[in-house]
Structure 1
Amino acid sequence: MNSIRVFVRTVDPLTSMAVSHYLDSRPNIEVVPAEEHTPVDVVLVVAERLTVDVASTLRKIKATLNAPVIMILCEITRNDLVPAVECNVAAVLPREAASRERIEEAVRTAAAGGGLLPSPMLGELLRHFEQLQREVLAPNGLHASGLTPREIDVLRLMSHGFDTSEIAEELNFSERAVKRVVSEITGRLQLRNRPHAVAYALRMGVI
């Protein structure tokens, strides 16, 4: 089994040393330096709260390492949740609850593609996205995936093996309109081709 490579970023060297030493002692976990091009599976950030400077650090980490982030914070507010998620934060631990075992659990969960949030924060995040869907996406004919109903219809038929002419006939579109829909999807979402677009729709659970 490959080791989970973790980069630790803290506000003080003593905390960094303690957290790094513990994680390094655990099976299949390796703390690595954040050198450029160093592969990293999880980033662990310890801070007082999500300040502008910390958010800027998270954006840089996302741009360079593109790994899930675990945040250990003394304080986090409702307004911090969405910016944190946008910066690849997959787990949040309150400082007072961040035992060594909980930190290890968060690292393994994030490395496996999961998330870990305290129940009140999870509920707050779900309410936020429900509000976003109701007030922003739905009035503009958009799904949370970023796809319109028409685009979802086209992708669903593509997933069943329909070609352009068959999709056009099924949806009463012109072939040019079908091609335009596909072009809009791949361009807007930066997808490589039709199979990639279908895979995206499947991953988002819309088809």
Structure 2
Amino acid sequence: MKTTKVAVVTSDPLLRGGATVLLDARTNVHVVPDVDQADVILLIEAKVTRDALTELGPLKRDSNRTGRPACVVVTDHFNDDDLLAAVLRNVVAIMPLRETGGPQLVNAVLAASNGMASFPPALQRKLLTLVQNVDREVLRPNGLTMSGLTERECDILRLLTEGLNTEQIAGKLSYSERTVKNVLHRVMRREGLRNRAHAAAFAVRACSC
């Protein structure tokens, strides 16, 4: 059974003690003292401020770490303007403090460990708007997409999913066949794709925007 390591971050010793007891009661959860040891960070504050978010660590992680721990925020007061800062620190769930019981808390931590996210509807709408603005105002003007692929890479991969070969793709996009092959080779190597069928499956996920 996988054990999820959780670091509890709070300025309130009573909240820390209660959360620790609830989490350590589960055989598949272990509370650790340091965020750098954690799979999930549990931030519990009556009011979450920008300063509280900095407790989750810097935006840039140590290069020796593989990714940033997911974070679950439990609070009754969260400033919508801090949403982007929270997401950049890998906050994947925001829950109301007064309405969250033990089972919900544990389930949220385990869900975060498994890559699931949960935000209140109002914050979901704001986050979607932020993402759309970044895509429209920052990425697209620079020839990029939300997936990290360039528009040219997405165009080529989309045509690949339609069953076109490199010669046909080159004709459709007015590129040389050599250019198409080079782009496909670069994407496949970068994304660890085994063959063109694998690349086509990747394109369905990455280029659906």
Cα contact 1:44–1:71 (8 A) shared by 2? yes
Partner Cα separation in structure 2 for residue 104 and residue 161 of structure 1: 46
**Secondary structure, counterpart of 2:98 in structure 1:** helix
- 1:4 has 2:4 as partner: yes
Cα contact 2:73–2:95 (8 A) shared by 1? yes
- State the Cα distance separating 1:59 from its structure 2 match: 3.5
Partner Cα separation in structure 2 for residue 178 and residue 59 of structure 1: 42
Moved more, 14-23 or 152-161: 152-161
- 1:172 has 2:174 as partner: yes
* Structure 2 residue identity aligned to 1:26: R
- 1:31 has 2:48 as partner: no
Cα contact 1:7–1:31 (8 A) shared by 2? yes
Instruction: State the TM-score, normalized to the length of structure 1.
Output: 0.74
* Structure 1 residue identity aligned to 2:53: A
Q: Deviations over 1:8-52 (max 9, x none)?
A: 22223332121011111135222223275x4x332111233132x
**Secondary structure, counterpart of 1:151 in structure 2:** helix
Q: Could you say which residue in structure 2 is the equivalent of 1:50?
A: 49
Partner Cα separation in structure 1 for residue 29 and residue 60 of structure 2: 21
Q: Closer, same or farther in 2 for the Cα pair 1:79/1:200, shift >3 Å?
A: farther
* Structure 2 residue identity aligned to 1:102: Q
* Structure 1 residue identity aligned to 2:105: I
Q: Could you say which residue in structure 2 is the equivalent of 1:95?
A: 97
Q: In the comparison of the two structures, how many residue pairs are matched?
A: 201
Gaps of 5+ in 1: none
Work out the percentage of aligned pairs sharing the same amino acid: 33
* Structure 2 residue identity aligned to 1:49: V
What does 1:58-73 correspond to in 2, within 5 Å?
A: 58-60=56-58, 63=61, 64=65, 66-73=68-75
Partner Cα separation in structure 1 for residue 103 and residue 123 of structure 2: 21
**Secondary structure, counterpart of 1:96 in structure 2:** coil
Instruction: Name the Cα RMSD after superposition.
Output: 3.6
Partner Cα separation in structure 1 for residue 49 and residue 203 of structure 2: 33
- State the Cα distance separating 1:67 from its structure 2 match: 1.7
Q: Could you say which residue in structure 1 is the equivalent of 2:20?
A: 20
**Secondary structure, counterpart of 1:66 in structure 2:** coil
Instruction: State the TM-score, normalized to the length of structure 2.
Output: 0.73
* Structure 1 residue identity aligned to 2:52: V
- State the Cα distance separating 1:90 from its structure 2 match: 0.4
Cα contact 1:182–1:194 (8 A) shared by 2? no
Cα contact 2:59–2:88 (8 A) shared by 1? no
- State the Cα distance separating 1:169 from its structure 2 match: 5.3
Q: Could you say which residue in structure 2 is the equivalent of 1:116?
A: 118
Q: Could you say which residue in structure 1 is the equivalent of 2:108?
A: 106
Cα contact 1:62–1:88 (8 A) shared by 2? no
* Structure 2 residue identity aligned to 1:69: C
* Structure 2 residue identity aligned to 1:10: T
Partner Cα separation in structure 2 for residue 42 and residue 95 of structure 1: 18
Gaps of 5+ in 2: none
